[in-house]
């Protein structure tokens, strides 16, 4: 179980001194680094190279396994392929059509999806708070939802490892949650106009704020196996692709590390089938590349395609679903945004979009001091925004058109937002199914039902009041709300019981012993924080548990 | 003249080294390429779509018109999706064709004339009823009027404000990011960021 492909080793180091963007070197090496053939049996195929796949891929490769990653999207070179233009960057979104049903249909495309080597980390905001210990035991504390089968102290070392590896910028000490064992890798990023306004409003209301933890570099950073990455230039375009390598998307962090350790990555390889043998184990992964069907024989499969595509692939292949839970338990964070216009020049396109955080509402009190009427809680985040994103969502939510729209658009340089990111409970009415309608590949489109339940509605109402109060105190005019849910989660939840969960605490399928899932589909509860950091931490834990079992 | 940003800011920045080559290419192409000829819609449908878009996002009279409808047609010809659609809606192309016919039907029921033959004020009344989902007509029994309107408005807004001239008009110069941004706090502007001009 090893291979001799180490040709990329140390190149990053030798080039970095005179080559400011080491990522150029490593991105080229994906095409140069194709050690495996489809005629051999590799140790593992990893499906998807986002936050769930990339860290695990690097870990398995570092252990000497022969690993091949299949990525549906292209391999981009950010320096030459990415424009500072939202429309040009729509290519980072997963645009195979999904059908959004229920009372609160979930938007996909620019939300909740991504494609390309690096997956949706190519356009994530890089907001990387840790979950708090009580996020993992919502059932114990509130009697609703599901506990995680993993205690916090088993996730914590992985949080720490991921933060150090990515170069997360954040405050030390961090004001909420248990004491951290180490400082963040780098000090916090500078606060932009939206962050200053939220600070101003929160101060008056007695709400504690702090610079947020963001996976973008506040100073130049070096990692063995990756090379040098330059500090963030505050271009504010995280959600449409980072051109400088400062944001820790997977393509400039865990993917180079995986290549360094000899992994192979096949871009534009769309997986359609998982073929099992008579023992019920998966033997071949079938995928389409350049219009041709190929298959890769393997000993293990790690499915890391995200909440929607992971469940869709399993349902299409009728696999790993003896529990009937594949596609169930769809959750989406409460994510209401409140926007306001200010006298000051904000220029919301500058700086890390999510500069400021408060977790005072992690387990909030009721406004009148009494007990709260919902389970869980949420965080508060200041938000900057790119113009087309802002204006198109404003058109949707406020329904402004004609001269009213033009007037509101003229105020763009003066707008700032706050949003929440809060827990969501699973509900029998929220699920993913295969529609009869077919996509261009003749595969059934996924249909996702989502309706906010009473808990989400109460939490959102609580947050609506607080955010409006903050903006009033900060001097906002023309305040408006953009109702939304973010980060689709669930569909293959982990648990202790094979009757009610799809995978065990190690991410291993209860039905198919050589199938593991590593992405946000396995989260038993949504958590009250953005999911990316937890997906990565869990991916490393899944890889380590797997490697231990193989000993 | 009401408050406005100076003309020509983005156009002046585009050829400079403050803009990356891929950014310059994307924006210059959008600035200079004439809108594609309609291919998905019939001429009648396309002219109705343009008339509706003119009410949704009035063009700036001092600037060349910014294409909205041509890009919608082009997307539908290429069968491109934004990645999702409301389950209550038919496929995008069908929804657009139905919705356009619905707007004309409503106009005829309310004012005895097709949409393009009625006054601006009456056109706006028709569009308001479509937006509120209470427009009369058989077609709206098959197609949720409010969702049709929402989707059209969102796509029109995206197309319009993706254009460098529309971005100039709102004082956006975020594409000029090669030097990065050092002055990012409240009321902190870099030299290349335009200030609004009072009326």
The domain locations on chain B are: 36-169
pLDDT computed for residue B36 by the predictor: 83
Which residue(s) pair with A298 in the sheet?
A42
Q: Which residues of B48-71 are buried (b: 16+ CB within 10 A; e: fewer)?
A: bbbbbbbebbebbeeeeebbbbbb
Asked whether the beta carbons of A367 and A465 are under 8 A apart, the reply is yes
Pairing of strands A264-266, A67-70: parallel
Asked whether the beta carbons of A259 and A26 are under 8 A apart, the reply is yes
Instruction: Kindly state the average pLDDT of the residues B178-193.
Output: 98
pLDDT computed for residue A243 by the predictor: 97
Residue among A344, A394, A409 whose CB faces B170 most closely: A409
Q: Report the predicted TM-score, pTM, of the whole model to 2 decimal places.
A: 0.95
Give the lowest-confidence range in A100-114, A313-327, B164-178.
A100-114
Domains of chain A: 11-82+104-550 (3.50.50.60)
- How far from chain centre, in Å, is Cα A312? 18
Spatial separation of the C-alpha atoms in residues A392 and A23, rounded to whole Å: 33
Give me B71's structure tokens. Answer: 């890009």
Residue among B83, B167, B186 whose CB faces A95 most closely: B83
**Among all residues of chain B, which has the CA nearest to that of A345?**
B187
Whether the CA torsion A372, A374, A377, A378 is positive or negative: it is negative
What are the φ and ψ backbone dihedral angles of B105, each rounded to 5 degrees?
-60, -45
Spatial separation of the C-alpha atoms in residues A117 and A77, rounded to whole Å: 10
**Among all residues of chain B, which has the CA nearest to that of A411?**
B170
Other CB atoms within a 10 A radius of the CB of residue A179 amount to 6
Percentage, residues of chain B above pLDDT 70? 100
Contacting residues of B for A233, CB less than 8 Å apart: 177, 179-181
Chains A & B: contacts with CB separation below 8 Å = 179
Asked whether the beta carbons of A348 and A193 are under 8 A apart, the reply is yes
Instruction: Kindly state the average pLDDT of the residues B172-195.
Output: 98
Give the lowest-confidence range in A319-323, A368-372, B176-180.
A368-372
Percentage, residues of chain A above pLDDT 90? 91
Work out the mean pLDDT of chain A and round it to a whole number.
Answer: 94
Pairing of strands A41-47, A67-70: parallel
pLDDT computed for residue A31 by the predictor: 80
Spatial separation of the C-alpha atoms in residues A549 and A540, rounded to whole Å: 14
Best of B125, B174, B180, B198 to substitute, by most chain A Cβ atoms within 10 angstroms, is: B174
More confident call, A26 vs A179: A179
Instruction: Kindly state the average pLDDT of the residues A8-29.
Output: 41
Collapsing DSSP to helix, strand or coil, A17 comes out as coil
For chain B, give the number of residues.
199
The 10s digit of each residue's pLDDT in A112-169 is 788 999 999 999 999 999 999 999 999 999 999 999 999 999 999 999 999 999 999 9
Pairing of strands A331-334, A485-489: antiparallel
Give me A414's structure tokens. Answer: 């003066």
Give me B185's structure tokens. Answer: 């706090």
Sequence-distant (≥ 6) Cβ neighbours of residue A398 within 8 angstroms: A408, A480
Spatial separation of the C-alpha atoms in residues A312 and A334, rounded to whole Å: 24
Statement: residue A16 has pLDDT above 70: no
Give the DSSP letter of residue A505.
T
Chain B closest-CA separation from residue A101 CA (Å): 5
Spatial separation of the C-alpha atoms in residues B175 and B129, rounded to whole Å: 38
Cα Rg of chain B (Å, integer): 20
**Among all residues of chain A, which has the CA nearest to that of B57?**
A402
What are the φ and ψ backbone dihedral angles of A443, each rounded to 5 degrees?
-105, 145
Q: Which run of H or of E encompasses A534?
A: helix A532-550
Chain A closest-CA separation from residue B61 CA (Å): 13
Sequence-distant (≥ 6) Cβ neighbours of residue A218 within 8 angstroms: A169, A186, A187, A188, A189, A190, A231, A232
Sequence-distant (≥ 6) Cβ neighbours of residue B111 within 8 angstroms: B118, B122, B126
What are the φ and ψ backbone dihedral angles of A155, each rounded to 5 degrees?
-90, -30
The 10s digit of each residue's pLDDT in B97-125 is 999 999 999 999 999 999 999 999 999 99
Statement: residue A6 has pLDDT above 60: no
Percentage, residues of chain A above pLDDT 70? 94
- How far from chain centre, in Å, is Cα A397? 24
Which ranges constitute the DSSP H helices of A277-368?
Answer: 306-317
Contact B58 A406 (CB under 8 A): yes
Q: Which residues of A412-424 are buried (b: 16+ CB within 10 A; e: fewer)?
A: bbbbbbbbbbbbb
The 10s digit of each residue's pLDDT in A438-491 is 998 999 999 999 999 999 999 999 999 999 999 999 999 999 999 999 999 999
Chain A closest-CA separation from residue B109 CA (Å): 23
Chain A closest-CA separation from residue B103 CA (Å): 16
Statement: residue A220 has pLDDT above 90: yes
Four-CA torsion A498, A501, A504, A507, nearest 10 degrees:
140
Give the lowest-confidence range in A369-378, A462-471, B166-175.
A369-378
Spatial separation of the C-alpha atoms in residues A237 and A123, rounded to whole Å: 9
Residue among A108, A190, A387 whose CB faces B84 most closely: A108
Q: How far is CA B81 from CA A102, A110, A308, B64, B77, in A?
A: 20, 11, 17, 28, 11
pLDDT computed for residue A20 by the predictor: 41
Spatial separation of the C-alpha atoms in residues A523 and A400, rounded to whole Å: 38
Contact A192 B185 (CB under 8 A): yes
Contact B81 A109 (CB under 8 A): yes
Closest C-alpha to B188, from A127, A413, A177: A413
Give the DSSP letter of residue A367.
T
Statement: residue A23 has pLDDT above 50: no
**Among all residues of chain A, which has the CA nearest to that of B54?**
A402
Chain A closest-CA separation from residue B5 CA (Å): 9
Instruction: Kindly state the average pLDDT of the residues A10-35.
Output: 51
CB hemisphere CA count around B39 (13 angstroms): 10
pLDDT computed for residue A236 by the predictor: 97
Spatial separation of the C-alpha atoms in residues A77 and A73, rounded to whole Å: 13
Collapsing DSSP to helix, strand or coil, A250 comes out as helix
The 10s digit of each residue's pLDDT in B67-104 is 999 999 999 999 999 999 999 999 999 999 999 999 99
Q: How far is CA B144 from CA A250, A535, B134, in A?
A: 41, 38, 10
pLDDT computed for residue A7 by the predictor: 38
Other CB atoms within a 10 A radius of the CB of residue A324 amount to 10
pLDDT band at A367 (very low <50, low <70, confident <90, very high): low
Cα-based angle A169, A171, A173 (whole degrees, multiple of 5): 135
Chain A closest-CA separation from residue B155 CA (Å): 7
pLDDT band at A343 (very low <50, low <70, confident <90, very high): very high
Contact A97 B127 (CB under 8 A): no
pLDDT band at A24 (very low <50, low <70, confident <90, very high): very low
């Amino acid at each position: 179980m090893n291979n001799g492909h180490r040709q990329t080793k140390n190149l990053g180091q030798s080039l970095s001194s005179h080559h400011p963007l080491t990522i150029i070197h490593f991105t080229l090496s994906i095409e140069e680094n194709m050690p495996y053939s489809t005629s051999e049996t590799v140790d593992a195929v990893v499906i998807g190279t986002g936050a769930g796949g990339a860290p695990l891929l690097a870990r398995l490769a570092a252990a000497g396994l022969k690993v091949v990653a299949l990525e549906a999207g292209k391999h981009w070179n950010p320096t030459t392929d990415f424009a500072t233009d939202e429309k040009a960057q729509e290519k980072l979104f997963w645009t195979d059509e999904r059908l959004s049903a229920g009372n609160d249909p979930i938007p996909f495309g620019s939300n909740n999806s991504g494609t390309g080597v690096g997956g949706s980390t190519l356009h994530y905001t890089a907001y990387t708070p840790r979950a708090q210990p009580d996020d993992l035991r919502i059932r114990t504390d509130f009697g609703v939802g599901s506990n995680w089968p993993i205690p916090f102290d088993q996730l914590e070392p992985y949080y720490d490892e991921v933060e150090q590896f990515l170069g997360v910028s954040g405050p030390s000490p961090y004001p909420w949650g248990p004491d951290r064992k180490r400082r963040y890798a780098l000090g916090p990023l500078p606060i932009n106009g939206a962050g200053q306004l939220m600070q101003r409003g929160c101060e008056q209301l007695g709400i504690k704020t702090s610079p947020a933890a963001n996976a973008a570099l506040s100073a130049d950073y070096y990692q063995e196996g990756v090379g040098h990455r330059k500090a963030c230039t505050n271009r504010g375009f995280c959600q449409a692709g980072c051109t400088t390598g400062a944001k820790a998307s997977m393509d400039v962090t865990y993917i180079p590390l995986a290549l360094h350790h000899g992994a192979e990555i096949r871009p534009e390889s769309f997986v359609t089938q998982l073929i099992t043998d008579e023992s019920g184990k998966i033997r071949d992964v079938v995928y389409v590349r350049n219009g041709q069907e190929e298959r890769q024989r393997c000993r293990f499969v790690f499915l890391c395609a995200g909440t929607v595509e992971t469940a869709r692939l399993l349902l299409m292949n009728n696999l790993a679903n003896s529990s009937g839970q594949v596609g169930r338990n769809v959750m989406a964070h409460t994510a209401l945004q409140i926007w306001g216009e200010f006298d000051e020049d904000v220029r919301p396109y500058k700086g890390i979009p999510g500069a400021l955080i408060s977790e005072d509402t992690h387990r909030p009190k009721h406004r009148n001091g009494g007990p709260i009427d919902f389970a869980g809680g949420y965080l508060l985040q200041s938000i900057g925004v790119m113009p087309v994103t802002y204006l198109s969502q404003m058109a949707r939510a406020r329904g402004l058109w004609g001269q009213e729209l033009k007037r509101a658009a003229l105020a763009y340089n003066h707008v700032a937002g706050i949003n929440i990111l809060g827990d969501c409970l699973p509900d029998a009415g929220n699920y993913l199914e295969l529609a009869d309608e077919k996509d261009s590949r003749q595969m059934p489109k996924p249909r996702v039902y989502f309706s906010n339940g009473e808990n989400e509605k109460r939490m959102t109402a609580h947050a609506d009041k607080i955010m409006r109060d903050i903006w009033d105190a900060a001097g906002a005019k023309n305040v408006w709300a953009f109702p939304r849910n973010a980060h689709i989660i669930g569909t293959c939840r982990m648990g202790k019981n094979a009757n009610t969960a799809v995978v065990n605490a190690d991410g291993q399928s209860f039905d198919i012993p050589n199938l593991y899932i590593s992405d946000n589909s396995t989260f038993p509860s949504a958590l009250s924080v953005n999911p990316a950091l937890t997906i990565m931490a869990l991916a490393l834990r899944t890889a380590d548990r797997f490697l231990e079992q193989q000993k | 003249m009401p408050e406005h940003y100076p003309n020509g800011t983005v156009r002046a920045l585009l050829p400079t080294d403050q803009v990356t080559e891929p950014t310059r290419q994307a924006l210059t192409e959008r600035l200079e390429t004439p809108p594609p000829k309609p291919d998905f819609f019939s001429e009648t449908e396309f002219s109705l779509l343009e008339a509706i878009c003119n009410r949704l996002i009035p063009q700036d009279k001092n600037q060349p018109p910014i294409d909205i409808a041509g890009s919608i047609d082009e997307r539908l010809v290429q069968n491109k999706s934004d990645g999702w659609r409301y389950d209550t809606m038919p496929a995008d192309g069908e929804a657009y064709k139905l919705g356009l016919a619905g707007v004309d039907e409503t106009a005829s029921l309310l004012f005895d004339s097709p949409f393009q033959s009625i006054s601006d004020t009456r056109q706006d009344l028709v569009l308001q009823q479509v937006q509120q989902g209470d427009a009369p007509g058989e077609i709206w029994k098959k197609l949720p009027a409010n969702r049709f309107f929402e989707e059209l408005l969102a796509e029109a807004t995206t197309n319009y404000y993706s254009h460098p001239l529309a971005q100039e008009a709102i004082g956006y110069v975020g594409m000029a990011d090669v030097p990065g941004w050092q002055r990012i706090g409240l009321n902190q502007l870099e030299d290349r960021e335009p200030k609004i001009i009072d009326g």
